């Protein structure tokens, strides 16, 4: 659509009825952060807290995620934070491939090209699958991937890191690498 900017995309998202997820939402969650952010972070889907407030990563996993970013020198307030899908799936089910593809093609790719970040942090397998197409978290986590001129870094989802000690250990190790990658990218 011509003449779209981040604000108008957010408005479209708030009114979206393209896939069945809209029926279960309270508020859609377009994303939040500076329009000129050098780093973007893409999660899976809004949870119940996010659905209530219309803001991304404001629940327990969001608090943990933002504190983790800060620990490695990334100011979460300077990051544009969003998710693969913008509406909360009932009972926290995983969004389907069709839902993710629809949301990606209609909104997420436009958000990425307007923000034009130097680094995109993908948190969790759903965002990896949505943007990179393939890849097992087992192999992808902690890696920097350059694809079509964009740089991605893959992290486990913070809610998995909070629940499973083995994933938490990988998450914390990968965060240190992310801090180094971000410092390098931001210096450019």
Q: Is the Cβ of residue 43 or residue 142 nearer to ligand URA in the bound state?
A: 43
For the bound state, the minimum distance from the C-beta of residue 39 to ligand URA, rounded and expressed in Å, comes to: 16
Nearest CB to ligand URA, comparing residues 33 and 46: 46
Minimum CB distance to ligand URA, residue 43 (Å): 2
The position carrying tokens 């629809």 is 102
Coil vs helix vs strand at 56: coil
33 vs 59 by CB, closer to ligand URA: 59
**At its nearest, how many Å lie between ligand URA and the CB of residue 187?**
28
Which DSSP state fits 36?
T
What's the min distance (Å) between Cβ of 50 and ligand URA?
4
Contacts of 152 (CB under 8 A, 6+ apart): 119, 120, 121, 122, 131, 132, 144, 145, 146
Return the number of the residue (64 or 186) whose C-beta is nearest ligand URA: 64
Q: How far is CA 10 from CA 7, 14, 177, in A?
A: 5, 6, 32
Picking from 111, 124, 31, the residue whose alpha carbon sits closest to that of residue 76 is 31
- Interface contacts to ligand URA, rule CB under 6 A: 29, 43-47, 50, 56-57, 59, 61-62, 83
Residue of closest CB approach to ligand URA: 43
């Amino acid at each position: 659509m011509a003449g779209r900017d981040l604000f108008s995309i957010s408005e479209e998202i708030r009114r979206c009825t393209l896939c069945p997820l809209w029926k279960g939402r309270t508020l859609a969650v377009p994303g939040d952060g500076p329009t000129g952010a050098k780093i973007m972070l893409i999660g899976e889907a809004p949870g119940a807290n996010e659905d209530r407030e219309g803001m991304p990563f404001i629940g327990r996993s969001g608090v943990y995620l933002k504190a983790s970013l800060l620990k490695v020198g990334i100011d979460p307030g300077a990051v544009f934070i969003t998710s693969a899908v913008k509406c909360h799936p009932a009972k926290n089910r995983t969004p389907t491939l069709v839902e993710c593809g629809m949301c990606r093609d209609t909104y997420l790719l436009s958000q990425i090209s307007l923000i034009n970040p130097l680094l995109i942090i993908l948190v969790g397998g759903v965002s990896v699958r949505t943007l990179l197409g393939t890849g097992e978290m087992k192999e992808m986590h902690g890696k920097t991937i350059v694809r079509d001129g964009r740089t991605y870094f893959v992290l486990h989802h913070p809610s998995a890191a909070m629940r499973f000690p083995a994933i938490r250990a990988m998450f914390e190790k990968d965060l240190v690498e992310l801090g180094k990658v971000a410092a390098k990218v931001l210096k450019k």
